[in-house]
Amino acid sequence: MDWQEQARRTEERLHGQFVQALDGDAAAYQRFLQALGGHLRAYFRRRLFQLPDEVEDLVQETLLAIHTHRHTYRRDQPLTAWVHTIARYKLVDLLRARERREKLNDPLDDEAGFFARSDTEAAEARRDLATMLDGLGERQRRALVMTKIEGASVAETAAALGMSEVAVKVGVHRSLKALAARWGGSR
């Protein structure tokens, strides 16, 4: 039997199982998914020979897409073409995602940004902030840090510090005013 005859017989068998499944035959659907999974594995392995770890995920994604979109299949059309289209889109999506990730994460292609950041910048910023806040009282400093740096609401800060909301607002305002006077900024 040549490959064309084998492909025709496979199409007939899978098409029959899928149509039975669409009519509610759960056993036929199980047979269809199992047989189709084998064909999809072969299809993806031939195309992803350098990425063998991606094959099974792609098979599962394709089977899920077929299950989710089974209502769009037109029974008078070849099943192979419909399945192939879905599988091909899944393959293209994977390759595009990998290409984007590789471009974003290429450690050898980042010479332009080599001096753009430093691990010491964050440490220096924390040290400078600690120096700036040293002159404030503990409750004022904590209220300022919680509301302006950590992003807590005034109500959350008041509850955490055992203060009224008005006291938090006044404390933050006075802290900012003191910092501006001490460090030459204006507020």
Tell me the CATH number at 51.
1.10.1740.10
Q: Which helix H or strand E contains 15, and what residues bound it?
A: helix 3-22
What sign does the CA torsion over 127, 132, 134, 139 have? negative
Number of domains in the chain: 2
Question: Is there a single domain that holds both residue 10 and residue 97?
Answer: yes
110: in domain: no
| Cα distance between residue 120 and residue 36, in whole Å | 54
- Residues 18, 88, single domain; the answer is yes
Domain boundaries, position 124:
119-183
- Is residue 84 in a domain? yes
Query: What pLDDT does residue 117 have?
Result: 56
Q: Which residues neighbour 28 within 8 Å (Cβ) at sequence distance 6 or greater?
A: 16, 17, 18, 20, 21
What is the reported pLDDT for 175? Answer: 86
Both tokens of 19, joined, read 């149509």
Q: What pLDDT does 122 receive?
A: 62
Angstrom distance (rounded) from CA 166 to CA 142:
15
CB-based burial label for 3 (10 Å; 0-12, 13-18, 19+): exposed
100 and 133 share a domain? no
In a domain, 111, yes or no: no
- CATH number for the domain spanning 123: value is 1.10.10.10
Q: What is the pTM of this model?
A: 0.54
Q: Within a domain: residue 114?
A: no
Distance CA 34, CA 49 (A): 22
Q: Is 76 helix (H, G, I), strand (E, B) or coil?
A: coil
Distances (CA, A) of 55 to 45, 47, 69, 89, 98: 6, 9, 21, 14, 14
Contact 110, 85 (CB under 8 A): no
Q: Tens place of pLDDT for every residue, the chain, 187 residues?
A: 788 888 899 999 999 999 999 999 999 999 999 999 999 999 999 998 888 889 999 999 999 999 999 999 999 999 999 999 999 999 999 999 888 877 765 555 555 555 555 556 666 777 777 788 887 888 888 888 888 887 888 898 888 889 898 998 998 888 888 888 887 654 4
Listed residues 76, 104, 132: the one ending a domain: 104
pLDDT at 179: 82
Q: Which of 43, 49, 55 is nearest to 83 (CA)?
A: 43
**12 and 93 together in one domain:** yes
